[in-house]
Structures are given as structure tokens and as C-alpha cells.
Amino acid sequence: MNRENKNINEEANYSVGLSRIAVSETHGEDSPYFDGWKAYDENPYHELKNPLGVIQMGLAENQVSFDLVEEYMEQHSKTVNCGRNDSNFRENALFQDYHGLLSFRKGMASFMEETRGGRAKFKAERIVLTAGSTAANELLTFILANPGDSLLVPTPYYPGFDRDLSWRTGVKIIPVHCNSSNNFKITPQALESAYNKAKSMNIKVKGLLITNPSNPLGMTICRATLEEILDFATRKNIHLISDEIYSGSTFSSSEFVSIAEVLESQDYKEAERVHIVYSLSKDLGLPDFRIGTIYSYNDKVVTTARKMSSFTLISSQTQQFLASMLSDKSFTTNYVRINRERLKQRYQMMVNGLRNIGIECLEGNAGLFCWINLNSILKEATREYESEVWRLILEEVKLNVCPGSSCHCCEVGWFRVCFANMSEQTLVVALERMHGFMKRRNIRRNDSCMLS
């Protein structure tokens, strides 16, 4: 036996051990949510080059107003390029502390106020910068909870939370089950039930995380419900994280109420337990710029988050460019207004197209997606048949959508379908494909009824 074969055999007999995180299955990558992405990556749709490919409707990305950002970049090319002749080149190239550029933090505070219609105020000194909202949510979880503790999260929720909140932190997610009888509204009863379930399992609850507007529902949380949620967190003496990354993607600014507004109306009495997560990935359509923020009313959380943010910094060049953009009031006001109008128009196009083929959607007022009900085409109301329909849509119809099971929805038959990450022409193709799928399903059903 030669040395090479001997080494191969020895490696087959044992392997070097890895950490618990490395071998953990809590990342969630084996879910349909990620499987659909892989299928798209292997066979992406292109109008000319690959018209039979998979259309990506599982990615919540905002491309409807990207032309406005591109126009700004063209008009401010010197700021964007930040080349060697730029007077700030040396400053941006050398080390910056993890507080980030003050000009950028001021710009972020200003834009957060803009997306909330000016009804909430934010201070630059309370903004902690992170490389996207994924890092912000994980960083907050590290700060607020210990391994083995838990966070309450209302369902259905963003599939990535399994990774963001649990994978590396060791913190458990306790689902707060909401249902369609009241349009998946978060109720005091549902919160109490989830809290008591954790208590019965001897799991300490350290916080409650909400998304407002909701991903995947595409709905905002009303002020009365937010007040109930804050009251619940106060009574249980736990933290409240409000993920508001779609706050500028509501179809009207008046339809969104930030937890910051509720705190202000109550003279910030319980503010120290409240933390807001925001990013520019959705509202401004810049996901790969990796811009996230934590805004906390708790001094200790701000200090600790700033220390930990050294693991998830944003480049100074990116900060400088965006500081200029976010501080340009004429640009941000115009962008937010047009973006809301375009998202509403695209949403209506999606909803009307689906209703024309017999598919109902939860009535939404925000976000980049629809929450659609395909329960009527399931053979039985089970996860197995929901998975079967998802796979048919992916493999035969060539549409990547996200099944409710990936969002931990307690009811079967719901799917999240994104509409803002493609052109209108591609959306028309997607709706035509869905129409053909529903037509074939109805023909099969009628044939089955005739045979029986």
C-alpha cells in the first residue's frame, strides 16, 4: 500500500473534532427556504439567455427604486468613487474606531426619522453600526441572553431567524403561535401561552422579538397591539426587540407606528428594555452594502454592542458615501415617497394577478412580498402535502417561493411570494406560469371528481 492510499484510509477511520457550532444543525440551511435558493442559483431565469429557468420569488429584495439610487450615484460620482485624488482618501483608508463615522450615524438617524414620517426622533450617539440586520439581531441576542435562554418570536417569522438568533448564540426560539382567524395578529393570550410553555420546560425567557412591518405577512402592527406587547414585556420584565427594517417600505407612512413612537407617548418609562433593529437592505435596496444598526435606549446595551461591533464593521468608504446620500434631505424625501408608491403599485399588480387565478392573499400594507393561501389545492391539510405543492411549484412551474413551514406557521397551505426583486415583465411571466399551474390543478381535480 503506498503512502497516499494509507493516508486516505486513515482519514476515513477518524476525523479531527470540530466545535459544537460547526456540527450544529440549528443553522436551518436544510429547509425549503434555502433549498429553493440553491435551485435558483443552479438554473436562474433570464428573459433572453434562460427563459425556462427558475424565477426567484423567495428573495425579499427591493429593486423597484434602484434607478433612483443609481441616478444619485451618477450625479455625485466624486463622493462615490472616493479615489486617490479625493481629499478624504487617506482618512478613509486608515483605521477608524468602531463607533463609525459621526456623519454617517447622523445620516442614519435622519433617514430613520424620514421613514417614520418624522414622528419618532433618533440620536446619533445611540446608533451602533453592524454589517447588516443579521449581525444586529445576533449581536443583540448575545447581549441579552445566555446559551439555553430563549426569545419569544411570533409566527410566522422570517426563516433566517433560526440562524440569526440561535445558531451561534445557543439561545432558543419559543414560537408565539398566531393564526389566520384574526389575520395573524399578536394577542396577549398567545404571548402568555408561549411564555408559560417556556416556563413549563424550565427555559428562561429573556426577551420578545417582533418584526414590524412583518416578514412574511407584509402587515404593520397597530399602536394598540404595540402597547399590549410593551405592557407584556414590562410585566414579565423581559427585553423587547423591534425589527423595523421594512419601516420605509409601507405603502403609506401613516400606516406604520414605530415602537419609538409608543415609548415617546409614554415618556420613555420602559425604554431601557427596548431595542430597535434597522438596516438599509430593504428600504434603500442595498443588501450587499451590509448596513445595519442597533438603536437601544439602554446605555449598557449601547456600550456593549459598540464593543462587540468590532467583529462586524462597515468600511469607512461605504459610510462616507452613504452619509452624503442620507444627509441629502431632498433625495431621501423624494426617494421614500416614490418607493412607497412603486411598492404599492407592484403589490396591487401581484394581488390582482393572483386573485384572477383564484389565489387569495392576506391583505397587506407593507413589505416586498405577499402571504398567499394555497390551502385549497392541498390534498390534505398536512405539512407533507404543503411540501409537495412547494416542490411542484419549484420543479415544474420553476418558481421559487417560500412555504409557511419555513416560517414556522402553525397553519398549513400558506406561502410567502416576493414581487419587488424583479422587473414587471418577469412578474408577468411568473403570474402566467402560476396561472398555468392552477389551471392544470383544477383540471386534475375535476377529472378526479368525475371518476369518483
Residue 50 has φ and ψ, to the nearest 5°, of: -150, 70
Is 41 tagged catalytic? no
Q: Tell me the three state secondary structure of residue 95.
A: coil
| 423, burial (CB in 10 Å: exposed 0-12, middle 13-18, buried 19+) | exposed
Amino acid found at 431: L
Among this protein's residues, is 158 annotated catalytic? yes
- The catalytic position among 127, 221, 245, 393 is 245
Say which of 282, 335, 347, 377 is annotated catalytic. Answer: 282
CA distance 387 to 32: 8
- Indicate which residue of 33, 72, 158, 347 is catalytic: 158
Query: What is the rounded CA–CA span in Å between residue 332 and residue 69?
Result: 10
**Residue in 149, 162, 243, 283 annotated catalytic:** 243
Q: What's the half-sphere exposure (Cβ side, CA atoms, 13 Å) at 276?
A: 28
Burial annotation 111-131 (CB, 10 A radius, 16+ → b, else e)? bbbbbbbeebebebebbbbbb
DSSP state of 269: T
Amino acid at 146: N
Distances (CA, A) of 67 to 76, 320, 333, 379: 14, 21, 15, 44
Distance from C-alpha of 275 to C-alpha of 263, rounded to nearest angstrom:
11
Contact between 137 and 161 under an 8 Å Cβ cutoff? The reply is yes
Q: Which residues are catalytic?
A: 158, 243, 245, 282
